[in-house]
Amino acid sequence: MSARTVADLIVDWLRTWDANRVYAYADDGNKPLLGLFRRADQAPEFISSRNEKVGACMAVGA
């Protein structure tokens, strides 16, 4: 059994909060989280944006 990572905890929190989508900029800092989104069962859908500000606007529907 492998050790749980911060990415595992984040996906668990998102499941608990019933988050359906995550809007974010995919960069080197969040690659472990993006990999977990692809591998995990019932992980929220990841919507990539061109930068952080656009991701925030997408998330609030602006």
pLDDT values of the chain reduced to their tens digit, one per residue, 62 residues? 578 888 888 888 998 999 988 888 888 888 888 888 888 888 888 888 888 888 889 889 85
Runs of H (alpha helix) within 1-62: 6-16, 31-39, 52-60
Does this model's pTM top 0.85? My answer is: no
What range defines the domain where residue 22 resides?
A: 6-60
Domain membership of residue 1 (yes or no) is no
Q: In a 3-state reduction of DSSP, which class is residue 2?
A: coil
Give the number of domains in the chain.
1
